[in-house]
Structure 1
Amino acid sequence: MRDIGHHTRQACAGAHRGFSGGVRLVIMACATLAPVAAHAETPLDYWWTHGSRAQSISHLLWFSTTVSILVIVIVSALLLGGIFRRRGAPQPQLPGQAAVERPHGGASWITIGVGISTVVLVFTTVWTFATLAHTGPQPGPASVRLQITAHQWWWEVRYLSDTPSEEFTTANEIHIPVGQVVEVKLRGPDVIHSFWVPKLAGKTDVIPGQENQTWLQADREGVYRGQCGEYCGQQHAHMAFDVIASPPEAYAQWRQQQLQPAHATNAPNPQTGEGLFTTRCGICHTVRGTATGGILGPDLTHVMSRRAIAADTLPNNTGNLAAWIADPQHIKPGNKMPRLALSGEQLTLIRQYVETLK
């Protein structure tokens, strides 16, 4: 009888641990889904999406999450019922063993459980393959073609065209027309990155020496945050970008503005902002229409038209711009822009010149 009590206590303790684990999972699921239930969108939210590719993924995610929560709740409820169900005392004529009771209808529970699980798993598998088929191939000809290069730790964005004079390069900000397919070719010269705009599409890896391809389509006007989705080094968390979806007319106007070169003088004075920028910054950066031609850093031709700097690390304003020029390593340690030994006057002149690049 002592052994029976010992085994019974062990069984109850195991059941209690299992039930507690189930309760914890339910609590974590509820905490995770609380913002979802409140329809509280976050910058990298993948529950509430605004693109056809992301919506297909989101619908599958909603279904699988709902099924998972139901399974946890049902299993926890059955476990709870088993723990608190009243049982008779062990039969005294069976020393050392508890009476084995075969409840009526037990096989039916197993049959029903296996049947429901099979149906759900088959349905989920079919849905998953259907989602992959929908989100994989590009649905039609693209109205905008992009070549995006992922660097440590920023994004180079080149707008492609059949006419070379209509191509231009920008950085860390992608403008697209609402409702139109955008083709994206992805390259990377250093380490593996991943291109991810959760509200518009799933992740696509960027692998050195290989060109991958994906596509975007925004169904609603707005600003959508993108992020490198593959750990790529010290500043991985600060390798972000914005996708700005605007009406086709506004997009066309923006594109025409980006095609224009910067206003420059023929022979900039080395003591002016433009001259200082050319000698101190032009080795790494390009401003189209000037003597600069660097390719190591972002193209800054119209940098002041962008919402943020340093790969979406800082809002684009006078204070942040000056701080970044003065000491980029303090803001984003490990990035490839060195700290320039600039006097206060030189810093002001360069900052004032950069602020004209709109």
Structure 2
Amino acid sequence: MIPDVGAQIHAIARSRGGAAPAGWKRAAYTVAGSLLAMSHVAQSAAQPQQNALQPAGVQAAHIAKLWNLSLIVCGIVFALVLLATLVALVRNGRGLAAQPPATRPPELGSLTQPEHRTRRVVIGASVLSVIVLVGLIVADVLTDRALSRMPVTDPVRIDMIGAQWWWQASYPPQGGQPGFVTANELHVPVGRPVVVSLQAEDVIHSFWVPSLHGKKDMLPGIDTTIEFRADQPGVYRGQCAEYCGAEHALMAMLVVAEPPERYAAWVARQAQPLAQTTDAVALHGRDVFERASCAGCHTVRGTSATGTPGPDLTHLMSRETIAAGVLANTPENLAAWIKDPNAQKPGATMPAVPLADADRLAVVRWLTTLQ
């Protein structure tokens, strides 16, 4: 729970014999906003961290090597510049220490006595800087070539659409299984190349899973692709890396890299139709879902719900999060999300669904059967 920061600040001011000034009120709102953002992070604390310094694929490894090289070179240059500045300050102070700064005459000796040694040092440093910069450019070009040379024989193909503010992933038919659509979560087999076709539905987005590859922009009306390969099993967090509106920071995804046999089992489950239930409460929830506005925005294969503006919910409970990584996928969070999405993700395009409490809980009961 977020504490009432404003009330606490006013209490502190009253204890000191006065009211909280306007500046304190602004500070209270700022701190409260920061705590709200931290609460969203805490709710998603179970998600893996994004870390470009821990590559889990060949593409990310190339980028990490370039980063390490650039960091070392720039660090050395920075240290040398600081050292040169320190030496200059010490030498200047030592030569003029006998006179107060205000009465020191200007040093004009270099006008009549050329400083050959200083000139050689400056020329040498300039030449060395050019060589270092050219070296970094060469390293950048070689890294770019290495990224484009990853073999993509027998790849997994995924079509991804970025929207405000979530991700839709479409898996075409593969291995005799029909295609299917999921949201905010990609599953890929370890050791097999993945080719993701990228599209933007509304504004510019950017696909970025730092443990697997660099960033790739998604432009409305322009199809692009990104290729990567996960060499280690695990769950890797991705993020939209191009500001795309109010909830840009809360537009995350998960990439789950699994051994080939587990990936094949996941594909088989996702390709299956709606799981049937005999639970009376859940069946009532399905009827409410189909009658309400839910069916106009979401698809659940095997029902009359065929909406496309929102995520496909056929296998909703197989996902770890909802609302593009904002909330853990639990019945409590589902109920809160249905009741008031903007309370959880301000600016979300999903409207609040006005349902009686019993009907809302029945809908949640049914959604939990969508395994």
TM-score w.r.t. the length of structure 2 is: 0.79
Aligned residue pairs: how many? 313
The answer on whether the counterparts of 2:204 and 2:220 sit within 8 Å (CA) in structure 1 is yes
Runs of 4+ aligned residues of structure 1 deviating over 6 Å after TM superposition are 268-271
Question: Residue type matched to 1:72 in 2?
Answer: F
Partner of residue 67 from structure 1, selected from 63, 73, 87: 73
Query: Residue 150 of structure 1 aligns to a residue in which SS?
Result: strand
Partner of 1:141: 153
Alpha-carbon offset, residue 141 of structure 1: 2.2
CA distance in 1, matches of 2:303, 2:354: 23
- Using the aligned pairs only, state the percent identity: 40
The answer on whether the counterparts of 1:269 and 1:275 sit within 8 Å (CA) in structure 2 is no
Alpha-carbon offset, residue 263 of structure 1: 2.4
Partner of 2:60: 54
Cα deviation digits, residues 93-132 of structure 1 (max 9, x gap): xx96534155563233234313322321121111111111
The answer on whether the counterparts of 2:167 and 2:253 sit within 8 Å (CA) in structure 1 is yes
Distance 1:221 1:265, change over 3 A: closer
Alignment of 1:337-348 (within 5 A): 337-348=350-361
2:347 counterpart of 1:334: yes
Alignment of 1:50-199 (within 5 A): 50-85=56-91, 86-87=94-95, 97-101=106-110, 102-103=114-115, 105-136=117-148, 139-161=151-173, 166-199=178-211
Partner of 1:312: 325
Please, what is the CA RMSD of the aligned residues? Answer: 2.4
Partner of 1:29: none
Query: Residue 117 of structure 1 aligns to a residue in which SS?
Result: helix
Question: Residue type matched to 1:204 in 2?
Answer: K
Partner of 1:301: 314
For structure 2, the residue ranges without an aligned partner over 5 or more in a row are 1-47
CA distance in 2, matches of 1:158, 1:138: 23
Alpha-carbon offset, residue 231 of structure 1: 0.5
Distance 1:210 1:80, change over 3 A: same
Distance 1:162 1:177, change over 3 A: closer
CA distance in 2, matches of 1:298, 1:198: 24
Alpha-carbon offset, residue 58 of structure 1: 1.3
Query: Residue 283 of structure 1 aligns to a residue in which SS?
Result: helix
2:366 counterpart of 1:349: no
TM-score w.r.t. the length of structure 1 is: 0.82
Partner of residue 248 from structure 2, selected from 216, 228, 236: 236
The answer on whether the counterparts of 2:282 and 2:363 sit within 8 Å (CA) in structure 1 is no
Distance 1:164 1:285, change over 3 A: farther
For structure 1, the residue ranges without an aligned partner over 5 or more in a row are 1-41
Cα deviation digits, residues 208-267 of structure 1 (max 9, x gap): 11111111211111111010111111111111100000111110111101011112479x
Query: Residue 166 of structure 1 aligns to a residue in which SS?
Result: coil
Alpha-carbon offset, residue 332 of structure 1: 1.2
Question: Residue type matched to 2:184 in 1?
Answer: N
The answer on whether the counterparts of 1:171 and 1:299 sit within 8 Å (CA) in structure 2 is yes
